[in-house]
Amino acid sequence: MVTTNDKYRVCVVCSGNICRSPMAEVVLREAFTDAGLGDRVVVDSAGTGGWHLGGGADRRALNALAAAGFDGTAHRARQIEPDWFDDRDLILCADSGHLAAMQRMGRDSDADVRLLREFDPQASGDLDLADPYYGTPDDFEECLEQIRRAAPGIVEQVRADLG
């Protein structure tokens, strides 16, 4: 299913949309651009809760992104709504709790709802993306590395979906 304006739509979901999902949004947007798909794929992100609506990404997430050469400063936190499923092709969830919530919310949708780390070739067993929120800067770097490892697999999945 390719939706709005023939663009493939990817949404990354975490709890508050200030750490994991904005980092993944930034990384994936660049990965699709680097793969020559930037004009065919739209990437956004949201949280399951509205605690941080309109706020920027967590400073520690921004620092981890900047240290790796990414810019996440334009991010503003949003909360996913049920009608988003109508124009998203792929919903990537940070962890199994988000996956269950998105499967319930989008149960009548054609959107593909998956864990982001399903695409990480080094992931085994627990496929939850590390939650750095209560951690140290090293935890944000670990989370970012997990996202970066998953990005090529996500790009290939979308490329296959696009035909």
Q: Which residues are tagged catalytic?
A: 14, 20, 131
The amino acid sitting at 161 is D
Q: Are 89 and 4 in contact (CB under 8 A)?
A: no
Cβ atoms within 10 A of the Cβ of 160, count? 8
Q: Are 46 and 111 in contact (CB under 8 A)?
A: no
Q: Are 82 and 29 in contact (CB under 8 A)?
A: no
